[in-house]
Amino acid sequence: MRTGITVDDGALLLAARWLSPAFPTGAFAWSHGLEQAVAEGAVRDGTTLRLWIAALLRHGAGWTDAVLTAAAWRGEEDLAELAELAAALAPSPERREETLAQGAALAATLRAVHGWDLPDASWPVALGRAARLAGVPLSVLLPLALQAFATNLVAAGQRLMPLGQTEGQRALVALGPLCTALAVEAERTTLEDLGGAAFWPDILSLRHETLEPRLFRS
């Protein structure tokens, strides 16, 4: 008798592959303003990194992307208008390029691999639409997407600070329950639930445009 995984294995593996660092979206090139936060001393160790990411998950792009992903998955909104809204929510040119570039890379790869009718769009819209086409349920997609967001920022932090692998994993373990809780919340949202309050990270993403030297594109 088979036990263990209860969701559709194919859907789980698809979502895990799309959100893996090995998938060619170029996520490793973007720090979401974290590089500027490290440069200014706002993030300086594992604890401040974890708190920074938690704020982004709850009050920043972690939450808004989850709401937009759910909306794109449901398909009740015009996809082009939803993509335009998602791009407009980016608080800086670099953050706008971050979401558009990753979304376009995801869409292009899935068109080439699967032949899907998946237009270029911002990251959360492309991801939600792809999941709907593939039959990946939101209950599988959203927690993985939120964890991938956190994982990418922890990896960026490890490149910017003397932060070891063990400390990085501690941060991800601590952030796991928040990712799970936000995924459950986001699954029940509408566009009326969009909104954020990550003002300091947004300001730092603007300041990053003039940071020299730099490792990341945002």
Is there a domain that residue 116 lies in? yes
Specify the CATH number for the domain of residue 55. 1.10.4190.10
DSSP string of 189-218, one letter each residue = --GGG-----HHHHHHHHHGGG-SS-SS--
d(CA 141, CA 216): 26
Kindly state whether residue 17 falls inside one of the protein's structural domains. no
> What does each C-alpha distance from 26 to 21, 182, 187 come to in angstroms?
8, 25, 26
Asked if residue 51 belongs to a domain, the reply is yes
Give per-residue pLDDT as tens, 166-193.
999 999 999 999 999 999 999 999 999 9
At 10 the pLDDT is 84
In a domain, 218, yes or no: no
Q: How far is the CA of 128 from the CAs of 25, 45, 76, 87, 133, in angstroms?
A: 15, 33, 12, 15, 9
Supply the DSSP symbol for 29: G
Average pLDDT, the chain: 95
Parent domain of 179: 27-207
Q: Is the pLDDT of residue 140 over 60?
A: yes
Contact 30, 148 (CB under 8 A): no
Query: Which residue is listed with tokens 């329950």?
Result: 177
**Where residue 86 falls among pLDDT bands split at 50, 70, 90?**
very high
3 within domain boundaries: no
Amino acid type, 39: A
Q: What is the rounded CA–CA span in Å between residue 183 and residue 55? A: 15
Whether 14 is in a domain gets the answer no
Please indicate, yes or no, if residue 88 is contained in any of the structural domains. yes
As a whole number, mean pLDDT of residues 139-147 equals: 98
CA gap 142, 180 in Å, rounded? 8
Number of domains in the chain: 1
What's the rounded Cα separation, in Å, for the pair 125 and 175?
A: 24
Residue 213 lies in a domain: no
pTM, 2 dp: 0.94
3 has a pLDDT exceeding 70: no
Which amino acid is located at 160 in the chain?
A: L
